Amino acid sequence: MVEAAYVGNRGVWFRADGLIDYNALTPERIRSFGLNVANADDRAVLTSRLDSTLAIQRGFKAPYAGFPLSATVAQSLRPFPQFTSIGSTWAPLGSNWYDSLQAKVTKRYSFGLDFSMAYTWSKNLTNTEDQDGTVVPTNDVFNRQLQKALSREDQPHVFVTGYNYTVPTAGFAKNNAFARAAVSGWTLGGVLRYASGKPIRVPQAQNALSSLLFRGTNVNRVPGEPLFTKDLNCHCFDPNKEFVLNPKAWADPAAGEWGTAAAYYNDYRYARRYDEQMSVGKVFRIRERMSFQLRAEFFNVFNRTYLNNPDSTNAKATQTVDPKTGLTTSGFGRINNGSTFAPPRSGQIVARFQF
């Protein structure tokens, strides 16, 4: 039996507390005090202490008696200068958009075999990620329409198959009870899952916008620059000695400006992670109400090694190598192999006597 279907979902009013910051500064508020965040001199004023000569010369004073003069001018211009960020709880601003083609092939039991195969081709967009109000990393909290992006859980291609095969009774064993018990009736099964890698978070800009308006922003993507120096799925590089992400693919926006990159890109993903499990087992019938079941189960059956995800937060993080060993020690695109991502192949034997 073959099935195919379009499955779509639209969700609204999810909790998205991160889309609100009541105490962040906007360029409009800065301009109301005669400052322009795009001007280098004005940026110097914003980051100066209130008791500095520069701030005094520009006429900035404490917003109320007792306000610490060690605070910056930018802090004093906040709507509520006595606080840092002021968020919200249960802000119903979250939305998501899911579209997919889902195909399925099912073979019902015959000749000892049954299986099902399912393939999903999808796109998952959202502006919120979790039930606790965590949002997709925010580029500009006052420009929410630009917040729509791929979900960090988006996997455009997912293939899953499950199967069971029962070994038939061989001809030579039909008339021999011991041979029939030894070679026939064994069941082979498995569940195999293959999917695209999950998106990598785009680096955060290092242009000090957070000290000017108390908000971070993304970097800009450089046209024509490859995102990777190595294919994360090729098994063709030494993760201990090579950096796998290209820092030249990202550039900070100009001082005081917001970045233009989305939080996630479809072609910027971690390595694929496979899930492969198999089993073999048999039920030995002793008498009508008595049986013995033996089953062996194996996980990560092909003993695949999964590398840790590369460091990807700061594209300007200096890439350093130990001069004695040649091993990478830190920097953008470094894979820390202190431990593997997944455990090695393992198995267990389960025996059950039923009466």
With cut-offs at 50, 70 and 90, classify the pLDDT of residue 138: confident
pLDDT, one tens digit per residue, over 35-81 is 999 899 999 999 999 999 999 999 999 999 999 999 999 999 999 99
Contact call for residues 22 and 80 (beta carbons, < 8 A): yes
Lowest mean pLDDT among 284-293, 308-317, 334-343, 345-354: 334-343
The predicted pLDDT at position 7 comes to 97
Closest CA to 74 of 39, 44, 47: 47
With cut-offs at 50, 70 and 90, classify the pLDDT of residue 162: very high
Average pLDDT of the chain is 90
Tell me the two tokens of residue 180.
């029939």
> For the chain, how far is it from start to end, CA to CA, in angstroms?
38
What is the CB neighbour count within 10 angstroms for residue 301? 16
Tell me the two tokens of residue 182.
């030894």
Give, in order, the Cα–Cα distances in Å from 108 to each of 6, 116, 117, 189. Answer: 24, 8, 12, 15
Strands 187-195 vs 220-221: parallel, antiparallel or unpaired: unpaired
pLDDT, one tens digit per residue, over 204-238 is 898 778 788 888 889 999 999 999 999 999 989 99
Count Cα neighbours of 311 within 13 Å in the Cβ-side half-sphere.
21
Lowest mean pLDDT among 107-121, 263-277, 335-349: 335-349
Contact call for residues 202 and 150 (beta carbons, < 8 A): no
